[in-house]
Amino acid sequence: MTHRWKWLLVGALLLTPARAFAQIDFTGEWAPVYHEDRPERLPGPELGDYTGLPINEAARLAADSWDADRISVVTQYQCRPHSSDYGMRGLGNLRVHRELNPATQDLVAFRTYMPAWGSERTIWMDGRPHPHEYAEHTFQGFSTGVWEGNTLVITTTHQKINYFRRNGVPSSDKRTSTEYWTRHGEFLTVVTVVEDPVYLTEPLVRSQNWYLDPGQALPTFYCEYVPEVPGPTPDAVPHHLPGANPYLTEFADWYGLPLDGARGGAETMYPEYRLKMGPPHSTPPDRCQRFCVCSGFECLVNPRRGRQ
């Protein structure tokens, strides 16, 4: 190499902008892993199952009023998407791609697509600020990301009211969620931390996993508003009045749990709760009889009776 070329090379190096890139690549198609809480996340949660949620009394009251007929009778609920924080828990197949600035090749955003409700999301990586608190709220909210070492840290605000669990446990539009995306080989772990001053007494921290599955052909999602069940009146919203929901103890009874544990709260999430938790709400069955073995989308209601 001549001296002239050497100096050109040094000059080019000096002119190259120093970028704080941490190029862990999340792009690709990911398949969800349901090895935790599968009955809740696929078939759906039982009524009155608030376990593991640091909820306050207001959230419990709202959840107790939930009637699942609401989804069938009230058309506004029928195609209600999961918001970005709950969508990552409900999980689903996931595509991630990068948007680059064609002039600079800088990373502008990650964009994600999940087939459930056709959820599309943008995670801005260009340093833009979050909008004013009065700006529009959406189900996916407004997300920005920064790198911390090998982890992508995403902050999301401006989400609409949604669920912490889709049996009526509400989340408010005041919440902020922070996600930590970390890739280990072909596995992706996303930790979601949600702070909600309206319904939580401490942050809700959950972690979920995907594996790289580039062979997927993700479908589109259609949801059509259809009156599935005739309501008592056109504007009826199925509900239970306070103290009048007869189904709230079923979950504890089916699985041999103490009722106060089933009803959630921060204190029930720490090891010392085992020392003070009461006995099962009723005499438990001698073996599991409901949603005990799961495969694919199906859970066996009673393994001895076969599939339902």
Q: What does the alpha-carbon distance between residue 267 and residue 247 come to, in Å, rounded to a whole number?
A: 24
Q: Which of 3, 4, 25, 308 touches another protein (CB under 8 A)? A: 25
Q: Residue 154, interface with another protein (CB under 8 A)? A: no
User: Nearest approach, Cβ of 270 to another protein (angstroms)?
Assistant: 6
Of residues 43, 133, 41, the one with CA closest to residue 90: 41
Chain positions 36 to 65 lying near another protein, rule: CB under 8 A, are: 36-39, 49, 51-54
Q: Which of 67, 72, 115, 147 touches another protein (CB under 8 A)? A: 147
User: Nearest approach, Cβ of 139 to another protein (angstroms)?
Assistant: 22
User: Nearest approach, Cβ of 160 to another protein (angstroms)?
Assistant: 21
Q: Residue 208, interface with another protein (CB under 8 A)? A: yes
Chain positions 84 to 123 lying near another protein, rule: CB under 8 A, are: 105
Angle 151-156-158 from CA coordinates, rounded to 5°: 175
What residues pair up with 119 in beta bridges, in sequence order? 114
Q: What does the alpha-carbon distance between residue 258 and residue 60 come to, in Å, rounded to a whole number?
A: 16
CB atoms within 10 A of CB 255: 20
Tokens of residue 146, six digits: 């920064």
Q: Residue 241, interface with another protein (CB under 8 A)? A: no
User: Nearest approach, Cβ of 206 to another protein (angstroms)?
Assistant: 5
Tokens of residue 35, six digits: 């090895």
Q: What does the alpha-carbon distance between residue 51 and residue 14 come to, in Å, rounded to a whole number?
A: 56
Chain positions 261 to 300 lying near another protein, rule: CB under 8 A, are: 261, 268-274, 277, 284-288, 291-294, 299
Q: Residue 9, interface with another protein (CB under 8 A)? A: yes
Of residues 166, 222, 192, the one with CA closest to residue 44: 166
What residues pair up with 212 in beta bridges, in sequence order? 30
Q: What does the alpha-carbon distance between residue 39 and residue 45 come to, in Å, rounded to a whole number?
A: 7
Chain positions 159 to 198 lying near another protein, rule: CB under 8 A, are: 176, 178, 180, 182-185, 187, 189, 191, 193, 195
User: Nearest approach, Cβ of 136 to another protein (angstroms)?
Assistant: 23
User: Nearest approach, Cβ of 14 to another protein (angstroms)?
Assistant: 11
> What kind and span of H or E run contains 274?
helix 273-276
Q: Which is nearer to another protein, 115 or 203 (CB)?
A: 203
Q: What does the alpha-carbon distance between residue 210 and residue 91 come to, in Å, rounded to a whole number?
A: 9
Q: Which of 127, 129, 149, 232 touches another protein (CB under 8 A)? A: 149
Q: Which is nearer to another protein, 32 or 238 (CB)?
A: 32
User: Nearest approach, Cβ of 155 to another protein (angstroms)?
Assistant: 8
Q: Which is nearer to another protein, 41 or 70 (CB)?
A: 41
Distance of CA 107 to the CA centre of its chain: 25
